[in-house]
Structure 1
């Protein structure tokens, strides 16, 4: 969207918004800043109002952020809207994978948790297509070109918001609030095929009772408990490492700053940029589905380890190509090869890190610490 003339004209008076690198960087990065600050509110919301409550509140915040964005031509207010979207997104994207793992049948829990995060591509593909369609009407005096795709964000959040009122609450959350009968009804209906005496029902109920009792005994329900004891410190170290490596893998550079990266390789028009984005997102979706299907077969550690080695090699090649191409832009083959390597990186990241970003932390944490 930063390639749209209408977007640049609306907020800076310059039809090429990405030329102002500081404003472009802040507008892009503020989403992540909102998510970081929102993390401190995720636990209290999801642990007290439920996993559905976290998704509902997050969706409402996103909708408010979108309204601010489309109702203004003041860049500062637009940035506030982006901040709110990031703040709301982290509420949803923390509560949702926790909910997914907690409601899934034990036999399919790992795959369900892995598939959850591949939904990013399900949203990015139509987003890229919508941007491509509206880009053909882009003009300095036509702000609807950028307002339409920005506004559509609220529609998807509204779907999540409404959908939350039609799904049951997590049985593990119900158990933690002493609502054992409701938790049992969920398990009987969804896991036991309406058989009150199904073995999986009895097994899961006992598992939840024992886990909650042990966590209460060890006083693991507070934020302080996250950093108390060798076992929890080790878990938190793993989670912080996953968070750090996933963000510094280069995925945000390849997606959040894709306009600048593609521009460096010679793809400058909005239609070129968006066409490439659609292709990248489709490849990402395909490879993330394969990754989700293989998490049990290959193992979490193996996928993360070899995936990391592979994408480091990719980025070394990309940097060399970008440097050589910038020195001599007549070397079109280098530009094309560099772009191809970005796609290879995206495929590797989608296969290895995308399915495990949300699954691995949820799997290794006890119930009381998952949302936190």
Structure 2
């Protein structure tokens, strides 16, 4: 099943119910993207700065940086307990109802944030937003990985990472538009764009009405017949179809084998099993290292602080910075879409990640060299043609950093979490990985503002060299340890993460679907 018929065959597997799943769960990634895109530009808006005293004279440079990082990272902080709540809710009420309560928490937090009168209310609103948004990082890859046919699992899970950049793009452009049409003296300049999050959460909530519960969750609940009917509706096949029966039978068989070892477990018991079993420890160690290398390679920090970073490379004026940042978001979205639709399943996980990381390393190296050579120049010297041309190149490389991330780590990191754990401990494993993912996001978000300071820190050039080194290290580790899971069933992929087998992709060897 190769060649020109591949694309047509894969499109046939994309049923109405799976499209609804992509709209509800896949596009929930826009929650984090909207927040990142909106808050990155909101904190640079003069109306927001004045309202919450972000540049008060009584604050030192480090205090200003800490206040800024507290605001931007508060959603990440709320995401940490959110990942644990996602586990508890998914086990008790199901993945579908968990997604619905995520939407309600996101709406509540957004309302509190946009009605803020002081910094404390800003923190509270964004923390509650994080409780909802953080759960999406668990339930979306988990659900999409469990309902997707193996041939399009990469594409469906990839919609989560792709939609993050759709959210970033919408956030950037809405803030830029508001900055043009609404004066700096009005709080509406940041409140109106932030309100988009309430609308988006409402759309996700509505689309969830057309989704099915995960068949594998129904198996965990001892309802195999309901699982057959749910999977049949998802794949638009009869519950008696051999493919539907085989998928549910494989899930039920793995679950039965695991339950023969130990009975049903809660979160603490699941953690004990995850850390007390050699095969699980191998999965956790590999996935934790990959998640860490991805986050600390820098592109998410570039997204969060894009307006300030474009200023480093010569872009002057707030409106021009915001417009350049908006275009940056559009570029990342376009390449994330290309990765999700055309590369992850066709080219394979490993090759797609290699391409993205090589682009990222080249672009970060250029920017590191630029900052090393030109950051010490005086204002007059920075206006010389050679310096300006080099600065334009540095801006282009920032765009390529986004391209590399969108093609590589952006989607692969969520696929890794969805494919690496067996059914019995999958929810606990994905929750744990997501918790670690958010912890790293908090760390890099708070660290970047301090790392970029000119005195007593890494400085901008040192920060970019650090990002370059982490990207290169990520490329080497992925090349050595990341298995190729394209075209494999979900019950097969988790074994590959513990055995270290580097299976070939469907284009490197024949795979029987």
TM normalised by structure 1 equals 0.92
Counterpart-to-counterpart distance in 2, 1:269 and 1:79:
28
Q: How far has the Cα of 1:41 moved from its partner? A: 2.4
Counterpart-to-counterpart distance in 2, 1:202 and 1:209:
10
Counterpart-to-counterpart distance in 1, 2:79 and 2:390:
36
Q: How far has the Cα of 1:309 moved from its partner? A: 4.4
The alignment partner of 1:336 has SS state of helix
Paired residues for 1:34-49 under 5 Å = 34-49=78-93
1:124 matched to 2:168: yes
1:4 matched to 2:57: no
2:246 is matched with which residue?
Answer: 203
Q: How far has the Cα of 1:317 moved from its partner? A: 1.9
2:326 is matched with which residue?
Answer: 278
Distance 1:116 1:72, change over 3 A: closer
Q: How far has the Cα of 1:14 moved from its partner? A: 5.1
Counterpart-to-counterpart distance in 2, 1:111 and 1:298:
12
Superposed CA offset, 1:95-123 (max 9, x none): 01211121222332222122332111222
Counterpart-to-counterpart distance in 2, 1:294 and 1:367:
27
* Unpaired segments ≥5 residues, structure 1: none
Counterpart-to-counterpart distance in 1, 2:286 and 2:218:
28
1:319 matched to 2:368: yes
Does the Cα contact within 8 Å between 2:215 and 2:227 map onto a contact in 1?
yes
Structure 1 residues 292-301 or 26-35, which shifts more?
292-301
1:215 is matched with which residue?
Answer: 258
1:332 is matched with which residue?
Answer: 388
Counterpart-to-counterpart distance in 2, 1:322 and 1:84:
38
1:70 is matched with which residue?
Answer: 114
Paired residues for 1:126-205 under 5 Å = 126-191=170-235, 193=237, 195-205=238-248
1:350 matched to 2:406: yes
Paired residues for 1:14-29 under 5 Å = 20-29=64-73
Superposed CA offset, 1:238-262 (max 9, x none): 2212221221121222111112211
Does the Cα contact within 8 Å between 2:95 and 2:214 map onto a contact in 1?
yes
Counterpart-to-counterpart distance in 2, 1:270 and 1:46:
43
The alignment partner of 2:195 has SS state of helix
Distance 1:250 1:353, change over 3 A: same
1:301 is matched with which residue?
Answer: 350
Does the Cα contact within 8 Å between 1:171 and 1:183 map onto a contact in 2?
yes
| Count of aligned pairs | 371
2:297 is matched with which residue?
Answer: 249
The alignment partner of 1:327 has SS state of coil
Superposed CA offset, 1:275-325 (max 9, x none): 212221222122122222222343323333453344233222212212433
Distance 1:267 1:225, change over 3 A: same
2:76 is matched with which residue?
Answer: 32
Superposed CA offset, 1:303-354 (max 9, x none): 3345334423322221221243332233222322211111111101111111
Distance 1:138 1:206, change over 3 A: same
Does the Cα contact within 8 Å between 1:325 and 1:334 map onto a contact in 2?
no
Does the Cα contact within 8 Å between 2:169 and 2:326 map onto a contact in 1?
yes
Structure 1 residues 294-303 or 67-76, which shifts more?
294-303
Q: After the TM superposition, which parts of structure 1 deviate over 4 Å for at least 4 consecutive aligned residues? A: 13-17
Counterpart-to-counterpart distance in 1, 2:161 and 2:310:
25
Counterpart-to-counterpart distance in 1, 2:236 and 2:353:
34
Pick the aligned partner of 2:280 from 205, 208, 232: 232
TM normalised by structure 2 equals 0.68
Does the Cα contact within 8 Å between 1:4 and 1:138 map onto a contact in 2?
no
Q: How far has the Cα of 1:177 moved from its partner? A: 0.7
Structure 1 residues 141-150 or 115-124, which shifts more?
115-124
Does the Cα contact within 8 Å between 1:38 and 1:91 map onto a contact in 2?
yes
The alignment partner of 2:113 has SS state of helix
Does the Cα contact within 8 Å between 2:358 and 2:404 map onto a contact in 1?
no
